[in-house]
Amino acid sequence: MTSIPKRVPIPRKGIDYRGKIVLAPMVRSGELPSRLIALQYGADLVWGPETVDRSMIGTTRRVNESLSTIDFTRLPSHGSKNPSEGQRESLIYRLHPEREGRKLIFQMGTSDPERAVQAARIVAADVAGIDVNAGCPKPFSTSGGMGAALLQTPEKLCSILEALVKEIVPEFEIGISVKIRLLETPEMTAALVRQLCATGITGLTIHCRTTPMRPREAAIREQLRMIADICRENGVACLMNGDVTDRTQAEALIKEFGVDGAMIATAAETNSSCFRAEGVLPWKEVTEQYIKTAMEVENRFGNTKYLLGHLIPGKVAAYKAVCGSRNYEQVCQALQLEHLQEQAREADIKLNLTAETMQGGRRGRKNKSALAAGGNPGKSRALEVESKKSLSERGSQAQAQAQAQVPLTV
């Protein structure tokens, strides 16, 4: 008689990660328009960019009726605290409940159980799951004891997950998951995975690299089957991450290594249609759809421009023109998207990006989601540097990551 596999119960409003091919959490590259277009092209779930617990605590949840979004905003930490004195609130996190709400996983950077619960409680009613980042190797995360630093303090990581399972799951009926990296030896990785599975989580994602490894180094998959087996024994869904290029490859890897699902990261930056079962679409079609989506949700232009630097091949003539653009209208002109010009002008007015308002320097609304996670979205340094180089000179994705000073995937 065949035994029924053990499964941790999926909360009523939660998501079972089994059989899913998903968008990985990426700082700057995981903002709302990127998530929406990934879902449009077939992603089963989307992870938002890592957002630090402290940045969410103290935010105000607002329903943005004009965009049909939910915005989490706060006043800047410096200067006056009085909104009447003209300070504009910073946007920390924006989500679209109708288009992504039940497929969105909120990834959190944290190093403290109480703060983790406090931050999760703010957003839990609007997402399908809470994921703890225990894999980001960048200093902005590890210096605060978050990210990959948690791999060296498994007791703390487990206490965070246990607190979230205890406090968030009963109240909001969604699942808790964690994303980790490989440890120094298979034995150490196995021991950690067993500890994590015992906390009550419903999902575990393994990034198939160790903490010191960079994206240019090939993912290590030898331990995948062992990790998947441990998760299965404990009823926890296991997803893999690392060098997954498209849905076809993801399905093959799932079958080969016995994992339950797969994440796609950098390949989704380059062409969001990688989630399609039919294969990727031409970059022009994907880029146009991304621009339309970005304008629809009034995405901060600096973030849009950054993503366009990945979507547009560096050798095409329009690449340099887009790199030099300062608003949506100029982008549409550079890409000869005349039919989007009116929409672009309207978006620029709303974002304060018209020629009149931009005299004397860059102005406009800032989106602080990446800043909240430790990046600096106000400066498109990576794209500015990249715009001066050809595709061959740009080199590996890891070099672009270093120039941007933010992680591509967490």
Q: What are the structural domains, with CATH classification, of the chain?
A: 21-79+86-275 (3.20.20.70), 283-404 (no CATH)
Q: Per-residue pLDDT for 127 more than 50?
A: yes
CA nearest 307: which of 29, 5, 27, 9? 29
pLDDT the model gives residue 85: 52
Gap between the Cα atoms of 183 and 194, Å rounded: 13
The partner residues of 261 in beta bridges, in order of sequence, read 239
The partner residues of 134 in beta bridges, in order of sequence, read 180
Share of the chain above pLDDT 90, in %: 78
Gap between the Cα atoms of 300 and 31, Å rounded: 10
**pLDDT level of residue 403 (50, 70, 90 thresholds):** very low
Q: How many CA atoms lie less than 13 Å away from 74 in the CB half-sphere?
A: 17
Residue 188's CB is within 10 A of a number of other CB atoms, namely 13
Task: Give me the mean pLDDT over the 174-193 stretch.
Answer: 98
Gap between the Cα atoms of 302 and 143, Å rounded: 27
Query: 370 or 125: whose pLDDT is higher?
Result: 125
Query: 269 or 376: whose pLDDT is higher?
Result: 269
Instruction: Say which residues have a Cβ less than 8 Å from residue 215's Cβ, sequence separation at least 6.
Output: 266, 396, 397, 398, 401, 408, 409
| Residue among 136, 231, 323, 332 flagged as catalytic | 136
At residue 256's C-alpha, the angle toward residues 134 and 270, to 5°, is 60
Q: How far is CA 328 from the centre of its chain?
A: 23
- β-pairing, 69-74 vs 90-95, is antiparallel
Least confident of 148-162, 226-240, 338-352, 394-408: 394-408
pLDDT digits (tens, 9 = 90+) for 215-268: 889 999 999 999 999 999 999 999 999 999 999 999 999 999 999 999 999 999
Q: How far is CA 108 from the centre of its chain?
A: 10
- Three-class secondary structure assignment of 324-368: CCCCHHHHHHHCCCHHHHHHHHHHHHHCCCCCCCCCCCCCCCCEC
Structure tokens belonging to residue 256: 């080969």
**pLDDT level of residue 88 (50, 70, 90 thresholds):** confident
Q: How far is CA 217 from the centre of its chain?
A: 21
Q: Per-residue pLDDT for 395 more than 80?
A: no
Q: For the chain, state the CA radius of gyration.
A: 21
pLDDT the model gives residue 138: 87
Structure tokens belonging to residue 350: 């709303």
Q: Per-residue pLDDT for 289 more than 90?
A: yes
**pLDDT level of residue 86 (50, 70, 90 thresholds):** low
pLDDT the model gives residue 389: 38
pLDDT digits (tens, 9 = 90+) for 53-62: 999 999 999 9
Gap between the Cα atoms of 309 and 324, Å rounded: 11
First to last CA, the chain: 42
175: buried, middle or exposed (CB in 10 Å: 19+, 13-18, 0-12)? Answer: buried
Structure tokens belonging to residue 188: 């150490």
Structure tokens belonging to residue 208: 């198939």
332 belongs to the catalytic site: no
Gap between the Cα atoms of 367 and 358, Å rounded: 17
Residue with tokens 């994303």: 179
CA nearest 128: which of 161, 95, 150, 166? 95
**pLDDT level of residue 87 (50, 70, 90 thresholds):** low
Residue 156's CB is within 10 A of a number of other CB atoms, namely 17
Residue with tokens 């920390």: 92
Gap between the Cα atoms of 262 and 18, Å rounded: 9
